[in-house]
Structure 1
Amino acid sequence: MEIHESNSAAEWRETTASSGGKQRIERKASFETSSGIPIPDLVTEEDLANSDMHARLGYPGEFPFTRGIRPAMYRSRLWTMRQYAGFASAEESNRRYHYLLSQGTTGLSVAFDLPTQMGYDADHPFSEGEVGKVGVSISSLEDMETLLEGLPLERISTSMTINATASILLALYIAVAKKQGTDMHKLSGTIQNDLLKEYIARGTYIYPPRHSMRIITDIFSYCAKNLPSWNTISISGYHIREAGSTAAQEIAFTLANAIAYVQAAVETGLNVDTFAGQLSFFFNSHNNLFEEVAKFRAARRMWAHIMRERFHAQDARSLMLRFHTQTAGSTLTAQQPDNNIVRTAYQALAAVLGGTQSLHTNAKDEALSLPTEETARVALRTQQILGYETGVADVVDPLAGSYYVEALTNELEQRAWQYIQEIDALGGSVRAIEHGYLQAQIEEAAYVYQRALEEEQSIVVGVNRFQTATSEPFTSQTIDPQIVQRQTARLAALRQKRDNALVGQRLQILEQAARGNSNLMPPIIAAVEAYATLGEISDILRQVFGEQRELRRID
């Protein structure tokens, strides 16, 4: 066999590569990422010849932050290791939080049940069958006090996955922190507070978009003055991806929503640099490792340009896209659940190689039930092994300069910009949602993916290939069926012992604020401190703002 040294990729394809072309193709004739980006057999420096790589990459901690928002990244401190938890009652969830902290979790992530998310108390007729099922049931300050009992709020970061009732849950958290004597400047955490993605992909909204945007910007303003270390929103691509979007759509639709939030805040008179540093993002880490790494890097670069060029931000913190990552729940399978541990490990690796600030790893049983203590511990150990044993955290942005990763980052960025331009042409994210544009794009992507599974163009191990004849034994987390009765009795007792006249006064003040234009956070905090319930506060806002039953498409 002749020794050959090619001088270009084209020559390599004509010589060395073509000599192996007669080999039988055992996989598939063509390759592409989940975003439909064709994957070439080889990527070289020639593919990056038209890119100013220094301008696109920069250095870690410097514009455009492609290589990370901190100069040392994980060399100085590992990412925050969160575990998403919350189920049944506040007492049971509190025990799980103490357990996770004892196992090395460095940040809490709270899941709430559907009634809490939708603004209903546990004893409301609409809550029947849902209390404590997909998260913890919280109806009052009394519940929140129990949930956070014994937790050092000054020393831990708490993320709360809550949207339509985010202002109320934040008020409850603040009220508990005050009772503990916490320094509000040290209180750190995040509320998701991202309503636009609820209209697109998830559905747990209460009020019409205009009123939801008002509540969100009121939170921005209040926290800028009173809770400087709190992340006021976690703009979520995670649920957009779970609904079926591609990686490119996840970037574009998330950033388009972020643009809408920033624009709304600026239009209320807020200076962009007073609140932009408290914005955070929430992304999915899916199966295609290199595409996911490239996605995170492209999103960081795009946000830096958006904030500097569109909103003229001057503070470097305003340009930094800080994000939490969760491994992809939609990739978990009920079949052969042990395989989910492996999937989660690779997805966690992609998040870390992409520079995430915090990470939640799903447990292997989450396609079937809420995680048990054992499966939650294994999920946490997955992060700890990644951080302490693999060496991937020892260098900043270790995949930078990879021809393939850089080319893929550039391509994802280009595709995401095209989507943003189309959304801008429709009048921005809110109008694009009303037109049904984002929903239609996600539905099409989900259809293409499902068809690929059915035709075995995409393989899911244990589902459409490599199945087993017998199912594995499985022990699931169970929820005590008496939780509803206990929560109902607890609420009844609370309403008997609280000062109901004071509650009525506080709710009246809140109603007046909602009908006017003053910030809603102070009266909401005052109401929860009087032990007004989440449902009572939500009902006041429903009376003033109305409810969004369904977003009708505008033709």
Structure 2
Amino acid sequence: MDIHVSKSASEWRNTTARKVGEKSTTRKEKFVTSSDIEIPDLPNEEDLTNWDAQTQLGYPGEFPFTRGVRPGMYRSRLWTMRQYAGFASAEESNQRYHYLLSQGTTGLSVAFDLPTQMGYDADHPFSEGEVGKVGVSISSLEDMETLLHGLPLERISTSMTINATASILLALYIAVAKKQGADPRKLSGTIQNDLLKEYTARGTYIYPPRHSMRIITDIFSYCAEELPQWNTISISGYHMREAGSTAAQEIAFTLSNAIAYVQAALDAGLNVDTFAGQLSFFFNSHNNLFEEVAKFRAARRMWAHIMRERFHAQDPRSMMLRFHTQTAGSTLTAQQPDNNIVRTAYQALAAVLGGTQSLHTNSKDEALSLPTEETARLALRTQQVLGYETGVADVVDPLAGSYYVEALTNELEQRAWAYIQQIDDLGGSVRAIENGYMQSQIEEAAYEYQLSLEKEQTVVVGVNRFKQAEPAHTSSHKVDPQIGARQAEKLAALRQRRDNELVSQKLQALQRAATGSDNLMPAIIAAVEAYATLGEISDTMRQIFGEQHEFRSLAE
């Protein structure tokens, strides 16, 4: 009896696969990724037409950085293991940071409450009921001193998820470091500072885009001179993915926003190689493992070409897309929360296989409450097992050359370039946001996903399939409802103790800088060092810049 061996994929489909297909059916009518990319039954060399390993892959640490931004990647150093944390008061959050560091985190990641994000002090009427709820409450240098007490700022990397008030929180961080005797030039960390995605998908903006861009470029300029190791922005696709975008949209909208930031800095007179090496990115790691790996690789390659060919960067560091990853909060379920441990582990695996520089793993209870110490530790242990036990960190870009991964990387790149071209045709990211283009694209993708859930074309274990009766979840972390009152009392005492005449002088100096063209950062730092509050500084800039209200599509 002759043994049949196919000489091509088409022959295999018409012989061996067809024989099996005649006796069985597939699990789905259509196999596609989140970006509606059709998944082949058997990826092979035919799926890699016009693919050239030398130009599209290259080598780690070299243009186009598809395989990673460092030659050794995790063989030389594991990714920074962060756990996003912050709640209630500065005292309580400081305790959590010390606990996480004792458990092996290698970098801090600070969550701020909504009043802090929106530029309101804890005693403002708009802050009522929100103080300390989704992050730590920070209204003054006194709060920041407490938050960072006992933390060696010269030796640890700190990421702060803050946008509209990023300049103020960075100023507070610098002021505390100086009080510790630290050299600001040795400080390392990141501020998110990405306002364009706030207008698109999240909503914690204060000022109109033009003024927000001015603040951002002032930060670029200041840090290039004074904080050379600080990442001045974390250009975020994460929140757009949480709002419902596809993987291709996440790449495209993130890079389009990055293009806008680089152009704004160039328009302000900065040299691209002066600030571009301090740009960083923030991506989501979602459920489709291979698509996520391909997404990270495509984004790196695209950014390298954008910086070299569009902005004529000369320094290779300017072309490196360095990014932090967070596992997908929107995939966490209140039903059967233990399943979230498994989801997070696979999402973390995708981030590491995709070459992330920094990673936060969500806790299993985040669909229900803030994480407890126990669940935060388990999420950290997930990263540690991945880094030290699985072997995936022992080789650079282990999926390179996979027919499927390379074809998927190419397809995602092609779709992302098409979106970027549309945004360019609209006049760039700011204009595309103003006319609602990005928002409408994300809304449409979110709607299609919801339909697929309802039709069970997409399965979420424990939600639309494999359901079970469950007891009420009782071990959730709760924030003391009196935290707002206590924070207001602390602010009142601070305003009595401080030199209010000095505060007034510093706020007037900030107002003059905002009215003119001086860099805002020195004036903001001087104000926080005089113990002006976050709300007072924000209000000073509100008086000059005004406030942005929700965008409406020009078609409405």
The interval holding the TM-score normalised by the smaller chain is over 0.9
**SS of aligned partner of 1:359:** strand
User: Corresponding residue for 1:304?
Assistant: 304
After superposition, residues 283-294 of structure 1 pair within 5 angstroms as: 283-294=283-294
Q: Which amino acid aligns with 2:301?
A: R
User: Corresponding residue for 1:478?
Assistant: 478
User: Corresponding residue for 2:279?
Assistant: 279
User: Corresponding residue for 1:329?
Assistant: 329
Residue 148 in structure 1 maps to residue 148 in structure 2: yes
User: Corresponding residue for 2:88?
Assistant: 88
User: Corresponding residue for 2:537?
Assistant: 537
User: Corresponding residue for 2:259?
Assistant: 259
Distance of 2:353 and 2:472 partners within structure 1: 33
Q: In percent, how many aligned pairs have the same letter?
A: 83
Q: Deviations over 1:467-494 (max 9, x none)?
A: 0023364310010112111101100000
Distance of 1:473 and 1:178 partners within structure 2: 44
User: Corresponding residue for 1:184?
Assistant: 184
Indicate the larger mover: 269-278 or 41-50. Answer: 41-50
User: Corresponding residue for 1:550?
Assistant: 550
Q: Deviations over 1:199-256 (max 9, x none)?
A: 0000000000000000000000000000000000000000000000000000000000
Displacement, 1:2? 4.9
Kept in 2, the 8 Å contact 1:280–1:322? The answer is yes
Residue 348 in structure 1 maps to residue 348 in structure 2: yes
Distance of 1:130 and 1:36 partners within structure 2: 39
User: Corresponding residue for 2:437?
Assistant: 437
**SS of aligned partner of 1:393:** helix
Kept in 1, the 8 Å contact 2:109–2:160? The answer is yes
Residue 213 in structure 1 maps to residue 204 in structure 2: no
Indicate the larger mover: 299-308 or 25-34. Answer: 25-34
User: Corresponding residue for 2:248?
Assistant: 248
Displacement, 1:347? 0.1
Indicate the larger mover: 10-19 or 405-414. Answer: 10-19
Distance of 2:233 and 2:249 partners within structure 1: 20
User: Corresponding residue for 2:526?
Assistant: 526
User: Corresponding residue for 2:408?
Assistant: 408
Provide closer, same or farther for how the CA distance between residues 483 and 352 of structure 1 changes in structure 2, counting only shifts above 3 A.
same
Q: Which runs of 5 or more residues in structure 2 are unaligned?
A: none
Distance of 2:140 and 2:45 partners within structure 1: 59
Q: Which amino acid aligns with 2:258?
A: A
Distance of 1:23 and 1:166 partners within structure 2: 61
User: Corresponding residue for 1:200?
Assistant: 200
Distance of 1:124 and 1:185 partners within structure 2: 35
Distance of 2:473 and 2:526 partners within structure 1: 50
Distance of 1:148 and 1:473 partners within structure 2: 32
User: Corresponding residue for 1:365?
Assistant: 365
**SS of aligned partner of 1:164:** coil
**SS of aligned partner of 1:190:** strand
After superposition, residues 445-524 of structure 1 pair within 5 angstroms as: 445-471=445-471, 473-524=473-524
Indicate the larger mover: 204-213 or 467-476. Answer: 467-476
**SS of aligned partner of 1:39:** coil
Distance of 1:109 and 1:160 partners within structure 2: 6
**SS of aligned partner of 1:550:** coil
Distance of 2:428 and 2:309 partners within structure 1: 17
Kept in 1, the 8 Å contact 2:48–2:407? The answer is yes
Distance of 1:80 and 1:120 partners within structure 2: 32
Aligned length: 555
User: Corresponding residue for 1:3?
Assistant: 3
Displacement, 1:184? 1.4
After superposition, residues 61-210 of structure 1 pair within 5 angstroms as: 61-210=61-210
Displacement, 1:509? 0.2
User: Corresponding residue for 1:225?
Assistant: 225
Q: Which amino acid aligns with 2:125?
A: P
Distance of 2:258 and 2:348 partners within structure 1: 24
Displacement, 1:53? 2.2
Kept in 1, the 8 Å contact 2:114–2:131? The answer is yes
Distance of 1:350 and 1:89 partners within structure 2: 34
User: Corresponding residue for 1:44?
Assistant: 44
Q: Deviations over 1:287-336 (max 9, x none)?
A: 00000000000000000000000000000000000000000000000000
Q: Which amino acid aligns with 2:60?
A: P
Displacement, 1:56? 0.1
Kept in 1, the 8 Å contact 2:336–2:470? The answer is no
**SS of aligned partner of 1:304:** helix
Kept in 2, the 8 Å contact 1:160–1:192? The answer is yes
Runs of 4+ in 1 over 6 A off after TM superposition: none
Q: Deviations over 1:244-289 (max 9, x none)?
A: 0000000000000000000000001000000000000000000000
Query: TM-score, normalised on structure 1?
Result: 0.99
Distance of 1:447 and 1:512 partners within structure 2: 47
Distance of 1:466 and 1:484 partners within structure 2: 42
Q: Which amino acid aligns with 2:521?
A: M
Distance of 1:9 and 1:474 partners within structure 2: 54
Provide closer, same or farther for how the CA distance between residues 114 and 187 of structure 1 changes in structure 2, counting only shifts above 3 A.
same
Q: Which amino acid aligns with 2:409?
A: T
**SS of aligned partner of 1:83:** strand
Q: Deviations over 1:131-170 (max 9, x none)?
A: 0000000000000000000001011000000000000000
Distance of 2:383 and 2:373 partners within structure 1: 16
Distance of 2:166 and 2:109 partners within structure 1: 14
Kept in 1, the 8 Å contact 2:237–2:284? The answer is yes
Displacement, 1:23? 2.9
**SS of aligned partner of 2:324:** strand
Distance of 2:2 and 2:408 partners within structure 1: 34
Indicate the larger mover: 9-18 or 268-277. Answer: 9-18
Kept in 2, the 8 Å contact 1:238–1:283? The answer is yes
Distance of 1:503 and 1:85 partners within structure 2: 31
Kept in 1, the 8 Å contact 2:507–2:540? The answer is yes
Distance of 1:417 and 1:252 partners within structure 2: 7
Indicate the larger mover: 52-61 or 307-316. Answer: 52-61
Kept in 2, the 8 Å contact 1:335–1:471? The answer is no
Displacement, 1:26? 5.2
**SS of aligned partner of 2:392:** coil
Kept in 2, the 8 Å contact 1:285–1:328? The answer is yes
RMSD (Å), alpha carbons: 0.8
Distance of 1:479 and 1:541 partners within structure 2: 31
Kept in 1, the 8 Å contact 2:140–2:531? The answer is yes
Distance of 1:299 and 1:2 partners within structure 2: 48
Q: Which runs of 5 or more residues in structure 1 are unaligned?
A: none
Distance of 1:242 and 1:372 partners within structure 2: 22
Q: Deviations over 1:492-533 (max 9, x none)?
A: 000000000000000000000000001000000000000000
Residue 269 in structure 1 maps to residue 293 in structure 2: no
**SS of aligned partner of 2:81:** strand
Distance of 2:348 and 2:3 partners within structure 1: 41
Distance of 2:2 and 2:102 partners within structure 1: 62
Kept in 2, the 8 Å contact 1:336–1:472? The answer is no
Distance of 1:130 and 1:292 partners within structure 2: 34
Q: Which amino acid aligns with 1:344?
A: T
